[in-house]
């Protein structure tokens, strides 16, 4: 099958752009919320060189089976804090993604709401094979819920912590 589907997911957050952008790019914050429920980011695998051409990495591990690992290794092809970053990523360990074909991840952070104090996050990622695109969109929705809980300081999030 031909990978030709882009996944687009949006979510509004009642937090300033700079704060939301940092949660995505600061390795110490990212490792606390990334991953769908039942997954966590392995602390020692998170790294990021926050600039154009900089590399970023992390490994997600299934909580009930630590041998199941999904590795993300990306390079920023755009990096404009706090507006947008674009990364070309190789993802290994995910059966729905060919590790030999890089995906593009674009995350936009747009002011919204009264006085522009909120942030609209738009994720665009792909290309995916049509039969797995929906599943990956659902995964992003779950991760954005974890981001909301992390930013709000409520609820469970990765690595067994509490916000």
Instruction: Supply the CATH number for residue 116's domain.
Output: 3.30.530.20
Tally of domains in the chain: 1
Q: In the prediction, which pLDDT does 156 show?
A: 53
Q: In the prediction, which pLDDT does 160 show?
A: 45
134 to 9, 30, 127: CA distances (angstroms): 11, 24, 12
Q: Is 159 part of any domain?
A: no
Taking residues 147-155, report their average pLDDT: 89
Q: Is 161 part of any domain?
A: no
The four Cα atoms 94, 68, 23, 11 give a dihedral, to 10 degrees, of 50
Q: Is 157 part of any domain?
A: no
pLDDT in tens, 2-18: 789 999 999 999 999 99
Q: Is 37 part of any domain?
A: yes
Q: Is 26 part of any domain?
A: yes
| Cβ(143)–Cβ(121) below 8 Å | no
For the chain, the first-to-last Cα distance in angstroms comes to 41
Taking residues 61-66, report their average pLDDT: 95
Q: In the prediction, which pLDDT does 137 show?
A: 95
Q: Give me the chain's average pLDDT, please.
A: 92
Range of the domain at 73: 5-152
Q: pLDDT confidence of 163, banded at 50, 70, 90?
A: very low
In this model, does residue 53 exceed pLDDT 80?
yes
7 to 12, 55, 124: CA distances (angstroms): 17, 23, 6
Q: Is 158 part of any domain?
A: no
Q: In the prediction, which pLDDT does 1 show?
A: 59
**Full-model pTM:** 0.91
Phi first, then psi, for residue 160 (nearest 5°) are: 70, 5
Q: In the prediction, which pLDDT does 113 show?
A: 86
Q: Is 20 part of any domain?
A: yes
């Amino acid at each position: 099958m031909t990978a030709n589907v882009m996944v687009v997911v949006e979510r509004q957050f009642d937090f300033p752009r700079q704060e939301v952008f940092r949660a995505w790019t600061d390795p110490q914050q990212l490792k606390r919320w990334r991953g769908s429920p039942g997954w966590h980011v392995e602390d020692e695998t998170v790294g990021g060189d926050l600039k154009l051409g900089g590399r970023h990495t992390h490994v997600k591990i299934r909580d009930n089976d630590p041998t199941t690992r999904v590795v993300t290794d990306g390079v920023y092809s755009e990096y404009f804090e706090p507006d947008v970053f674009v990364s070309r990523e190789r993802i290994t360990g995910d059966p729905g993604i060919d590790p030999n074909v890089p995906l593009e991840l674009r995350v936009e952070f747009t002011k919204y709401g009264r006085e522009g104090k909120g942030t609209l996050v738009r994720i665009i990622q792909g290309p995916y094979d049509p039969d797995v695109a929906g599943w990956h969109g659902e995964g992003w929705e779950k991760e954005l819920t974890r981001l909301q809980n992390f930013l709000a300081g409520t609820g469970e999030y990765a690595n067994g912590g509490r916000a």
